[in-house]
């Protein structure tokens, strides 16, 4: 059966750890200028319904560094869902490429495409999940803290796709996770239940709260994201009211451990979900996160497309 990555739940704890290990290994080779063309002759199709900076450039660069080739396919340039079914698009692309990355609005569309694809499909972002971001985040945390199990990650703000994936990833690896979200903006109930089951096996603690101060208390990592994501522009006024009091600022960050790191998947809006002195301050590792999208995706691509 073809292995897909649509959410972090598609990976076992050992598989996540193996991807992170491979990513760290390839990062060192990249830093030393050593060749690592492990996917020579492989082609990756990239179907993007949403605009992107980090996801597109990191995947294309990753395939180039690995000796392969990436083809960017805007939905305006192909027939996906417009004159051709998602199933038929998946079947056709499977004849030409070795893997497919999708960045779509509806998670259900990614699931359908994967169901009909005979090559691995990677979720580069949907409205429900962002596993590639979670892998880069876990790699960054491990680099900065020297370990993962037993740490505490605090999420502040919208219980969105990044929150869902990070919660799943943390619970798989024994990382305690606390999310503080306004009522009505909590992470997906199904994801929370999956994470609770993961946590029972890994020994992690999981909490979904409404109080940012309680969530951030004694945290090793404080994480936030934008209050209004792509496709939510009509909800902007409502969201601004709901998230008042959920800004990560120096006073909130002081409740975390003194050596806590601040994370944000970017793009960021300084003065809204985070203040400039936090995201540009000494606790911030956002640019390490951004760089690690490249390396985490290399580890992922090699594990999924490489020779077994």
What is the reported pLDDT for 145?
Answer: 98
The answer as to CATH 3.20.20.70 being correct for domain 8-130+290-305 is no
Span 137-147, pLDDT tens digits = 999 999 999 99
Confidence of residue 158 (pLDDT cuts 50, 70, 90): very high
What pLDDT score was predicted for residue 147? 98
Segment 166-174 mean pLDDT: 98
Identify the pLDDT of residue 2.
72
Above 80 in pLDDT, residue 85? Answer: yes
pLDDT band at 1 (very low <50, low <70, confident <90, very high): low
Catalytic residue, chosen from 54, 264, 293, 295, is 293
Q: Report whether pLDDT(82) > 80.
A: no
Which architecture characterizes domain 133-283 according to CATH?
3-Layer(aba) Sandwich (3.40)
Read off the pLDDT band of 193 (50, 70, 90): very high
181 is catalytic: no
Q: Give the up-direction half-sphere exposure of residue 256: CA atoms within 13 A in the CB hemisphere.
A: 27
Q: Is 96 left (phi over 0), alpha (psi -120 to 50) or beta?
A: alpha
Q: Which of 158, 265, 283, 289 is catalytic?
A: 265
State how far the Cα of 149 lies from the Cα of 204, in Å rounded to an integer.
Answer: 8
Q: Does 81 have pLDDT greater than 80?
A: no
pLDDT cut 90: percent of the chain above it: 91
The single residue listed with the structure tokens 């962002």 is 130
218 is catalytic: no
| Residue 244: exposure state from Cβ atoms within 10 A (0-12, 13-18, ≥19) | exposed
User: Which residues are paired to 257 by β-bridges?
Assistant: none
Find the length of the chain: 308
pLDDT of residue 78: 83
Phi, psi for residue 75 in degrees, rounded to 5 = -65, -15
Sheet containing 206-209, strands listed edge to edge, beginning at the edge strand earlier in sequence: 206-209, 176-180, 152-156, 221-224, 261-264
- Mean pLDDT, rounded, for 87-92: 96
Entry pTM: 0.96
Catalytic residue among 103, 107, 264, 295: 103
Domain spans in the chain, listed from the N-terminal domain onward? 8-130+290-305, 133-283
Instruction: Say if 8-130+290-305 and 133-283 have the same CATH topology.
Output: yes
pLDDT at 121: 98
- Asked if the peptide bond before residue 267 counts as cis, ω within 30 degrees of 0, the response is yes
Confidence of residue 231 (pLDDT cuts 50, 70, 90): confident
292 pLDDT more than 70: yes
What does the pLDDT average to over 230-238?
A: 82
CA atoms within 13 A on the CB side of 178: 20
For 33-47, what is each residue's pLDDT tens digit?
999 999 999 999 999
No. of H helices and E strands in the chain?
Answer: 12, 9
Helix extents (H) in the chain: 13-32, 54-65, 86-94, 107-116, 131-145, 161-172, 189-202, 212-216, 236-242, 250-253, 276-279, 286-305
User: What's the whole-number mean pLDDT along residues 187-199?
Assistant: 98
**Catalytic status, residue 133:** yes
Mean pLDDT of 121-127: 97
Active site residue 280: no
Active site residue 158: no
What is the average per-residue pLDDT within 50-59?
93
C-alpha span between 159 and 186 (Å, rounded): 5
Query: Looking at residues 45-70, what average pLDDT do you find?
Result: 96
pLDDT score recorded for residue 308:
53
Q: Which helix (H) or strand (E) holds 125?
A: strand 121-125
- For the question of residue 295 being annotated catalytic, the response is no
């Amino acid at each position: 059966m073809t292995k897909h990555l649509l959410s972090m739940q598609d990976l076992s704890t050992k598989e996540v750890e193996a991807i992170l290990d491979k990513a760290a290994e390839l990062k060192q080779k990249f830093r030393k200028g050593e060749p690592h063309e492990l996917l020579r002759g492989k082609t990756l199709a990239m179907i993007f319904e949403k605009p992107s900076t980090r996801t597109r450039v990191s995947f294309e660069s990753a395939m180039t560094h690995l000796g392969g080739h990436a083809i960017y396919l805007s939905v305006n340039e192909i027939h996906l869902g417009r004159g051709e079914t998602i199933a038929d698009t998946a079947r056709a692309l499977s004849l030409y490429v070795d893997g497919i990355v999708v960045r779509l609005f509806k998670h259900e569309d990614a699931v359908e495409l994967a169901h009909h694809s005979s090559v691995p499909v990677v979720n580069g972002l949907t409205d429900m999940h962002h596993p590639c971001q979670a892998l880069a985040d876990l790699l960054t945390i491990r680099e900065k803290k020297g370990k993962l199990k037993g740490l505490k990650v605090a999420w502040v703000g919208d219980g969105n796709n990044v929150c869902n994936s990070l919660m799943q990833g943390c619970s798989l690896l024994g990382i305690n996770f606390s999310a503080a979200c306004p009522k009505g903006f909590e992470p997906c109930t199904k994801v929370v239940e999956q994470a609770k089951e993961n946590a029972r096996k890994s020994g992690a603690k999981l909490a979904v709260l409404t109080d940012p101060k309680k969530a951030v208390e004694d945290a090793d990592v404080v994480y936030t994201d934008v209050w209004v994501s792509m496709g939510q522009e009509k909800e902007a006024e409502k969201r601004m009211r709901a998230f008042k009091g959920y800004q990560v600022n120096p006073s909130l960050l002081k409740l975390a451990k003194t050596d806590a790191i601040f994370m944000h998947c970017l793009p960021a809006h300084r003065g809204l979900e985070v203040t400039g002195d936090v995201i540009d301050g000494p606790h911030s590792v956002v640019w390490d996160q951004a760089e690690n999208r490249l390396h985490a995706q290399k580890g992922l691509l090699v594990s999924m497309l490489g020779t077994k």
